[in-house]
Amino acid sequence: MSRAFVNEDAGTGEAPRYPLPSTEDPSYDFAAARALLRGADAGDTASAESATGYYWGEPKLLPWIERILEEAREDGNERLEQLAERYLRASNRQSRSTHP
């Protein structure tokens, strides 16, 4: 393989960490929603999914994603707004595919 296509830094970075409360904690789902958005922003959704136990677009997290979206709009955080909207679209696609 050409050296132009080899990422010499692969595997040398530390894996992203997603500090989460206990799954029994009432704030867990909100923290999980934030972690999924943070993972997507870092280009590492898979690690966030693994850490939270939720997949991207999980409908259970919709109230929290909508809250984060509202906060992002109020704060003028366009990137977080974009990610939250993308999550909502993915959730909508999932619910359509599971409910004929």
Q: What is the reported pLDDT for 95?
A: 63
C-alpha of 90 from chain center: 11
Block means of pLDDT (10 residues each) for the chain, 100 residues, are: 44 69 96 97 95 96 98 98 97 67
Phi, psi of 72 (to 5 degrees): -65, -40
Read off the amino acid at residue 87: Y
pTM, two decimal places = 0.79
- CB neighbours of 89 closer than 8 A, spacing ≥ 6? none
